[in-house]
């Protein structure tokens, strides 16, 4: 085969066939090409049988791509080569050897729903408070414990002084007993049991060490503790082991990935060779300069410097917008301009830190009739938690809406199952009533035989309370009441999982959106109609649309033009990350990943104010902007349209984002719409908490809010946003 298509460093990595090798592959450096070429070289030039080669990836897609590319390079049957994910490789080993540890070879692999069922059984048998120990959360906890390689006994022993964790350990112990009784494994077990066998059974360990003469591991920076142990056990002490990865793209610590696995490779395998792939084939040099500059602030890394033979390219542009709404439309306007010049929508991407940020961009794209798709997730209004909360509002607006009521009757779970719901619907239909009528008056229908009668009655009481209040509350306050009375927000909070936190963030974003309508005096029915029209707009094929995704979802992808949005302290890096240097470094690696997705154009943006938890909140530009230094062109916005944006409720000019989450604390307000907005007009005399008395001399609608200019008696002219300014009408 011809290896001259490779650059010098790629060839060096290919020819290093003996001994341990770390290929430190920078973004866009052609690592897959190197690995597949090396596998083909071993078989074609060194006559290594395909069955002597093991290649491990993280996804089935990556495994298939690797196999297809190898097959294209050589004219030889490679069906006997082991190429697969960690889990698929382990299943093959276990089917042959699991009897060694007391299981039957026909074991069942339990999915997440199966795991939840087993955990529920364990909680019930142990008579543990099911409200304190949520099954979904417990499944995640058990997975994390297993990822650390701890047995139930080890975990219980380590947490004797912690009541909650000790009980968690007991659930874990019973869960494991039940799995064994059922001859079942969960996904974590596939790795753990394989490691157990390789540790305890010397002949099995020797068999696989002899079998696999050459081992390849892709995305090595994403390996966790148990995956690391597996590799070490199969490889042995002096292996022909090639691992490929990039410490600067290690962004899955929250999933258990341990960056030390790649950083310490040369210690784990003494004499290991390290080859750095620094030539980038994707991006312009100006984009790479930004990436190099930012990642250089991390201390826990193996140094490398990306470069390209491409042209310098266009300047990387950064702009700070007055408000997040303006950032959304600023980005969309740029997309329109680029498309007008011939760039395709599908070659553009908007990258954000959290899923919730997609909402504003989605709405702006819909209004401009620009096709788009969400990569690695659902569109905002298709997300379960958003549909759930909106279903509550739809029922309060229209009590005849049986579909919406059916959706929420057991969300959060309140012991009203599908059978009870079916009985309720049949009964309502037979009586010519709505589901709402039956649920809210269940005591009147004594002939309706239901096991869940009490739970239905309790739910009906919630609906009646919310319906009574709906007439006296603004849509923003009604939204908060729904979250509190239903227990929806609290249930998510108690789950304490990454998934639940993401759902809470989406609900927070929905709340912020509702508050924009609230400030305009929009009624509930009008708001729901607006959403329906928004969802029903004609859509072009998603394949031709702008790509929207989190920076995590963007890893491994590339686009001609990339917009990195929301680069603000507390948002990116997240407020959680600010608690430790280690977490900030992970966020910085994520920034590096985002930057290196762009081939030709990179636009970076932030906002000085952002709607958070229903309030306009000051924001501070991300530290990453400062770290980019002179590698970016900063477009200053001289207008400073939002001059007096503060968190006046707290009496502070702090840029710290509010931490209080609505829907968890009881706070009933029965007043109609806020006095802000339409009730204050030009010529009105007002009093400001700080600036004193004055007169409104100008007013205009702006981004769902009202901007006023007030001539204060002692402070002169001030430009304020009514949603946040502490002003009141005076005689």
Catalytic residues: 31-32, 218-219, 249, 597
Tokens of residue 222, six digits: 């994403």
Answer whether 562's CB lies under 8 Å from 598's CB: yes
Torsions phi, psi for 472 (to 5 deg): -110, 0
Answer whether 492's CB lies under 8 Å from 369's CB: no
If you search the block for the tokens 């380590």, which residue do you land on?
158
If you search the block for the tokens 């200019």, which residue do you land on?
709
Distance CA 613, CA 607 (A): 16
CB under 8 Å to 9, separation ≥6 — which residues? Answer: 275, 276, 277, 278, 279
Pairing verdict, β 716-721 and 705-712: antiparallel
In 218-258 the beta strands, taken as DSSP E runs, fall at: 241-245
Distance CA 229, CA 360 (A): 44
DSSP β-bridge partners for residue 525: none
Answer whether 389's CB lies under 8 Å from 483's CB: yes
Distance CA 400, CA 406 (A): 11
Residue 650 class from Cβ within 10 Å (0-12 exposed, 13-18 middle, 19+ buried)?
A: exposed
Answer whether 268's CB lies under 8 Å from 14's CB: no
Tokens of residue 575, six digits: 């407020």
Measured between its terminal Cα atoms, the distance across the chain in Å is 89
Cis peptide before 573 (omega within 30 of 0): yes
R_g over Cα of the chain: 29
Dump the DSSP string for 377-435: S--GGGSHHHHHHHHHHHHHH-TT-HHHHHHHTTSS--S--HHHHHHHHHHHHHHT--H
Other C-beta atoms closer than 10 Å to the C-beta of 685 total 12
Tokens of residue 560, six digits: 């001609």
Answer whether 614's CB lies under 8 Å from 515's CB: yes
Secondary structure, 3-state, 616-640: EEECCECHHHHHHHHHEEEECCCCC
210-212-216 Cα angle (round to 5): 150
Dump the DSSP string for 571-584: BTTBTTGGG-HHHH
For residue 692, give the 3-state DSSP assignment.
strand
For residue 115, give the 3-state DSSP assignment.
helix
Residue 299 class from Cβ within 10 Å (0-12 exposed, 13-18 middle, 19+ buried)?
A: exposed
Distance CA 421, CA 456 (A): 10
Secondary structure, 3-state, 255-297: HCCCCHHHHCHHHHCCCCEEEEECECCCCCHHHHHHHHHHHCC
Cis peptide before 11 (omega within 30 of 0): no
Distance CA 612, CA 29 (A): 39
State which H helix or E strand residue 495 sits in. Answer: helix 488-495
Distance CA 62, CA 53 (A): 17
Picking from 235, 664, 292, 293, the residue whose alpha carbon sits closest to that of residue 492 is: 664
Answer whether 698's CB lies under 8 Å from 708's CB: yes
């Amino acid at each position: 085969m011809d290896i001259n298509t490779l650059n010098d460093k790629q060839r060096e990595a290919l020819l290093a066939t003996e001994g341990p090798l770390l290929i430190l592959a920078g973004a866009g450096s052609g690592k897959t090409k190197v690995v597949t070429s090396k596998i083909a070289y071993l078989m074609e030039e060194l006559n290594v049988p395909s069955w002597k080669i093991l290649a491990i990836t993280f996804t089935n897609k990556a495994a298939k791509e690797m196999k297809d590319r190898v097959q294209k390079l050589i004219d030889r049957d490679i069906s006997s080569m082991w190429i697969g994910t960690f889990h698929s490789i382990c299943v093959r080993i276990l089917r042959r050897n699991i009897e060694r540890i007391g299981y039957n070879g026909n074991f069942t692999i339990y999915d997440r729903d199966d795991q939840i069922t087993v955990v529920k059984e364990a909680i019930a048998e142990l008579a543990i408070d099911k409200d304190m120990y949520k099954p979904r959360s417990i499944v995640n906890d058990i997975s994390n414990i297993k990822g650390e390689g701890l047995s139930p006994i080890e975990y219980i022993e380590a947490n004797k002084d912690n009541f909650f964790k000790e009980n968690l350990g007991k659930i874990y112990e019973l869960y494991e007993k039940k799995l064994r009784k059922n001859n079942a494994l969960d996904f974590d077990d596939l790795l753990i049991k394989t490691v157990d066998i390789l540790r305890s059974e010397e002949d099995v360990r020797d068999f696989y060490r002899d079998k696999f003469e050459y081992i390849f591991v892709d995305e090595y920076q994403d390996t966790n503790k148990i995956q690391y142990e597996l590799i070490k056990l199969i490889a042995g002490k002096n292996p022909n082991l090639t691992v490929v990865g990039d410490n600067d793209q290690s962004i899955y610590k929250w999933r258990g990935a341990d960056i030390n696995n790649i950083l310490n490779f040369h210690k784990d395998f003494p004499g290991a060779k390290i080859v750095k792939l620094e030539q980038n084939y994707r991006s312009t040099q100006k984009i790479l300069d930004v990436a190099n500059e930012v990642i250089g602030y991390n201390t826990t890394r193996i140094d490398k410097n990306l470069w390209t033979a491409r042209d310098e390219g266009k300047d990387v542009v950064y702009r700070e917008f007055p408000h997040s709404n303006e950032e959304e439309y600023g980005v969309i306007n740029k997309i329109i301009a680029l498309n007008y010049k011939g760039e395709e929508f599908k070659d553009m991407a908007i990258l954000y830190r959290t899923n919730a940020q997609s909402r504003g961009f989605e709405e702006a794209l819909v209004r401009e009739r620009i096709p788009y798709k969400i990569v690695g997730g659902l569109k905002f209004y298709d997300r379960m938690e958003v549909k759930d909360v909106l279903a509550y509002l739809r029922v309060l607006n229209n009590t005849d809406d049986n579909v919406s009521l059916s959706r929420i009757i057991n969300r959060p779970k309140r012991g009203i199952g599908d059978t009870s719901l079916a009985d309720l619907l049949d009964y309502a239909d037979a009586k010519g009533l709505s589901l709402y009528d039956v649920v809210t008056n269940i005591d009147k229908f004594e002939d309706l035989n239901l096991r869940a009668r009490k739970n239905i009655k309790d739910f009906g009481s919630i609906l009646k309370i919310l319906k009574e209040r709906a007439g006296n509350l603004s849509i923003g306050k009604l939204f908060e009441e729904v979250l509190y009375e239903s227990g929806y927000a609290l249930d998510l909070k108690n789950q304490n999982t990454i998934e639940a936190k993401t759902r809470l963030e989406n609900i927070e974003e929905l709340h912020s959106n509702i508050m924009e309508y609230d400030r305009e005096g929009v009624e509930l029915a009008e708001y729901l109609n607006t959403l329906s029209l928004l969802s029903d707009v004609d859509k072009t094929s998603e394949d031709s649309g702008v790509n929207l995704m989190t920076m995590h979802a963007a890893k491994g992808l590339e686009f001609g033009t990339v917009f990195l949005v929301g680069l603000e302290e507390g948002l990116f890096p997240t407020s959680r990350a600010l608690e430790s240097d280690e977490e900030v470094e992970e966020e910085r690696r994520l920034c590096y990943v985002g930057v290196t997705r762009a081939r030709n154009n990179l636009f970076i943006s932030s906002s000085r104010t952002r709607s958070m938890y229903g309030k306009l909140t000051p924001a501070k530009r991300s530290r990453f902007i400062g770290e980019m230094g002179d590698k970016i062109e900063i477009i200053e916005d001289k207008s400073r349209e939002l001059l007096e944006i503060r968190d006046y409720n707290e009496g502070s000019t702090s840029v710290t984002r509010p931490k209080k989450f609505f829907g968890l604390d009881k706070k009933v307000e029965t007043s109609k719409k806020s006095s802000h907005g339409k009730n204050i007009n030009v010529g009105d005399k007002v009093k400001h908490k700080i600036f004193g008395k004055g007169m409104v001399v100008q007013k205009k609608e702006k981004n769902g809010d009202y901007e006023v200019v007030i001539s204060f008696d002692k402070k002169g002219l001030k430009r304020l946003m009514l949603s946040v300014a502490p002003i009141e009408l005076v005689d």
